[in-house]
Structure 1
Amino acid sequence: MFFINMNALVAMAGMIAVLMLTRWWPLNKRVLLLFFNLAFLGVFSQKLFLFAVVYTALNYAGFLFLCRTASYRKLWFVLSIVLNVAAVSCVRLFVMEVWTHPLFDAVIWIGLIYYVLKVIDAYYFAYFLGKDAKAPALDFFNYILFVPTFTSGPILKFRDFMADTKKPYSINAAQFEEAVKRIILGLFKKIVLVTWVSTAFDHVLAGELHTAQSLFLMVCFYAWVYFDFSGYSDIAVGIGRLFGYTIPENFKKPFLSPTLTQYWRNWHATLGDWFRDHIFMFFSRKTPSRWTAAGLSILIMVLIGLWHGFTVLYVIWGVYHGLLLALENLLGSTLVNKKKVSKPYFYFRCFLTQLAVLAAIIIYGGTQETVLRIYRGLLSF
């Protein structure tokens, strides 16, 4: 959202210039970043600013408590997670207008949807490392409020961000050039390609739908999601690097994934990694059996579906992907090594994976009425 707003881009460019001019100051990328994050959110939305500061402060207090306490650690750990999940669920109900209140602003949801994942990761870090996990309030606030990954990730890991804070701000000409090229690529995807694809999608959707039109809409929407989301990730990676922080890759050649398991390690990789890391860590500390892995796959994909939205369609999407992943686990076919199989077989498996994803991608495509209309069109020859 921010990255197609000229004022936001100018503000970030100004911040990068300030960081470069103050690189002699060891604390520049920590102290100045906090001022920038707070000022940016304050200008964008006063309600969001107030919510973000209070939410982060409360969780920092909980984080420090979990680092220091020795009594009932597991209880406090679970309670912290439950409270955060309850908070995001309540806000989701406000967005759905199940609940209403004049103080609520939907923009709060934009921040919280990714805030909560980072907060929970910090709690995991505190629970397993104890006193060694302690972090200054300055860095904790920067981690949660980090503007370049604010609305759509990639999702930062607490330990990686804390490691970056200890490094002085440093960027050479080659790194600067690479980051700027990455930002330009992302802007081209979001502004040019997304505009072309979305225009074609809307044009076809406005007409009568038969099999060919519905298939076109599904492929078109798949491209739309990819260009939009990978474009955002490209910009976030580039700006994050210019801010002095390493942002993880979110898209790792997902179209060359020969299994659905590998696909979800390459498509929105940080979200899939987050759910795998935290769910598997919580329910299975040891290497799980095939049946356990299959059950956890279903659970993880249903949770990812609910994370996107509290609707029947998202639950169906989660169950669909979960069952396919579970089947791969039970059959022992979660991985295909490109070096050990023929090229035709490898690319055929990649094609089958894309078909499996394509079959459900349109669920992201709008209202339930629109989605069902496209599916009905598939059966209209």
Structure 2
Amino acid sequence: MWYLNMNAVVAMAGMALVLALTRWWPSNKRILLLAFNLCFLLLFSERLFVFYLVYSLLNYAAFLFLCRVSSWRKGWFIALIVLNVAGVCSLRFFEMGLFENPLFHAILLLGLVYNVLKVIDALYFAYFFGKDARAPLLDYVNYILFIPTFTSGPILRFRNFMADTKEPYKLTAGQAEDSVKRIILGMFKKIVVVFWMTAVFDHMKDGDLHTFESVFLMMWFYALIFFDFSGYSDIAIGFGRLMGYNIPENFKKPFQSPTLTQFWRNWHATLGDWFRDHIFMFFSRKAPSKVTAAGLSILIMVLIGLWHGFTWLYFLYGLYHGIVMALENLLGKSTVNKKKVSRAYFFARCALTQLIVTFSVIVYSGKEETVFKIYRGLFNWPW
């Protein structure tokens, strides 16, 4: 969201320059980054600033409590996670109009579905490492409010962010060049490619749809959201690295995924990894059986679907992907080693995976009438 506002882009570029000029100060990327994160939110929205200040402080208190508490640790751990999830769900219900309150404003939901995952990751770290997990308030707030990844990820891990925080600010000329090129590439995707592709998509979907038009729109929209989200990730990774933090990759050649299980390790990788790691860690610390893995795959994908939105379309989207991944687990087909199979077999599996994804990805358009119209068009033969 920030990256379509030139004032925000200039502010982040300025912050990167300030950090580079103050690299002699050991605490520059901790203290200056906190000031930048808070000032950025305050100037963007006072309501959002107050909300996230309170949200961060409350969760830091919960984090410290879980680090220190010795009795009923698992109960407290579950309760704190449930409270965070319930809070996000409540705000979404307000957005949907199911609840009403004059204090609610849609701006409060900005980035919240990403930031609650970071909060929960910190709680996991506190639960498993106890007192050794403690971190200063300054670093915790920076972790939650880190502006380059605030609205749409990639999702940061608490352990990795704290490790980067302890390192002094270092940026070589080569790293700066690579980061700037990454930002320019992301801007080109977001501002040029996505704008043009969206115009084509909107023009076509408003007309009469037959089988070929619907198939084209599904493929076109799939490419559109790839350029949109990978473009955002490129910009976030570039600015994050300019500010001294290693932001994880979010897209790892997803079109070369021979199974749906591997696809979700390569497409929006930080989201898939987060759900897989945390759900498997909670329900099955040991290597699960095929049946258990299949059941957890369905659960994880349903949760990912509902994470995107509280609609039955997103639920069905998650269920659809979960069932396919469950079948891959049960049949022992969840991975394909490119080196051990023929090229023809490998690329045939990749094509099948992309077909499975293409059929469902139109759900991300967010509009039921658009989704239904395109699916109906599949059965509207032009002869």
SS in 2 for 1:379: coil
- Measure the CA separation in 2 of the matches of 1:172 and 1:242: 10
Q: Deviations over 1:63-97 (max 9, x none)?
A: 00100111111111000000000001001111111
1:329 matches 2:367 = no
- Measure the CA separation in 1 of the matches of 2:371 and 2:327: 26
Contact 2:34 2:141 in 1 (8 A): yes
AA partner of residue 223 (structure 2): A
- Measure the CA separation in 2 of the matches of 1:73 and 1:11: 42
Q: Match of 2:122?
A: 122
Normalising by structure 2, we get a TM-score of: 0.99
- Measure the CA separation in 2 of the matches of 1:369 and 1:188: 30
Runs of 4+ in structure 1 deviating by more than 3 angstroms, as ranges, are none
Normalising by structure 1, we get a TM-score of: 0.99
Q: Deviations over 1:164-198 (max 9, x none)?
A: 00000000100000000000110011011101111
Q: Match of 2:285?
A: 285
Contact 2:111 2:152 in 1 (8 A): no
AA partner of residue 162 (structure 2): M
SS in 1 for 2:170: coil
- Measure the CA separation in 2 of the matches of 1:366 and 1:292: 32
Q: Match of 2:253?
A: 253
Contact 1:298 1:321 in 2 (8 A): yes
- Measure the CA separation in 2 of the matches of 1:305 and 1:100: 25
1:54-203 superposed matches below 5 A? 54-203=54-203
Q: Match of 1:223?
A: 223
Contact 1:52 1:111 in 2 (8 A): no
SS in 1 for 2:209: coil
Give ranges in structure 2 of 5+ residues lacking alignment.
none
1:34 matches 2:34 = yes
SS in 2 for 1:178: helix
AA partner of residue 271 (structure 2): L
Q: Match of 1:368?
A: 368
- Measure the CA separation in 2 of the matches of 1:369 and 1:271: 27
Q: Deviations over 1:244-287 (max 9, x none)?
A: 00000000000000000100000000000000011000000100
- Measure the CA separation in 1 of the matches of 2:309 and 2:366: 12
- Measure the CA separation in 1 of the matches of 2:370 and 2:181: 37
Mean Cα deviation higher: 243-252 or 358-367? 358-367
The number of residues matched between the two structures is: 381
AA partner of residue 19 (structure 1): L
Quote how far apart the aligned CAs of 1:366 are.
2.6
Q: Match of 1:15?
A: 15
Quote how far apart the aligned CAs of 1:216 are.
1.1
- Measure the CA separation in 1 of the matches of 2:2 and 2:305: 25
1:226-237 superposed matches below 5 A? 226-237=226-237
Give ranges in structure 1 of 5+ residues lacking alignment.
none
C-alpha RMSD over aligned residues: 0.6
- Measure the CA separation in 1 of the matches of 2:285 and 2:206: 50
Quote how far apart the aligned CAs of 1:102 are.
2.1
Mean Cα deviation higher: 101-110 or 341-350? 101-110
Quote how far apart the aligned CAs of 1:340 are.
0.8
Q: Match of 1:319?
A: 319
- Measure the CA separation in 2 of the matches of 1:100 and 1:176: 47
Q: Match of 2:53?
A: 53
Q: Sequence identity of aligned pairs in percent?
A: 68
